[in-house]
Amino acid sequence: MKSINSGMTEENDLNPEEKSVFLVVLEHWPCTPMEVAIQLKEKTKSREEKRRASTKYSYYLKKLVAKKLLLSKKSGNTMIVWPLMTEKYRAIHDIITRQEPEHIALLMHKHKIQESENNA
């Protein structure tokens, strides 16, 4: 996972809690601290349990953001996270679509034809 001079942390540098949180985000992104808590089978029935779980996983998610493994944004009071690598994929996609827009347009046209055939 580490690339030369990228500044990224290796997954091996994570403690077990960080690693389990990171793996949940990789599989279920974008997600919130409560979604991570639910995936990790935390108790979230009562208001107090939800608050505790949200605080706990917000802490771990912020640590992963600081280690440059995740990106985050706030929506109201809610923290939303996703893997940094998805932004890299998005950048690659943007580069490809700018360089070969006719190729992408052809693929989209084929996809629309297949959808219309499936709906018929």
**What stretch of H or E contains 63?**
helix 47-66
Nearest-angstrom CA–CA distance, 18 and 24:
10
Each residue of 92-120: pLDDT tens digit?
877 777 766 666 667 777 777 777 777 76
Each residue of 27-70: pLDDT tens digit?
999 999 999 999 999 999 999 999 999 999 999 999 999 999 99
Q: What does pTM read for this prediction?
A: 0.67
DSSP code at position 8: P
Domain regions of the chain by residue span:
15-84, 87-119
- Judged by DSSP in three states, 42 sits in coil
Nearest-angstrom CA–CA distance, 33 and 5:
30
Strand spans (E) along the chain: 70-75, 78-83
Reply yes or no on domain 15-84 having CATH 1.10.10.10. yes
Which residue has 């949200």 as its token pair?
54
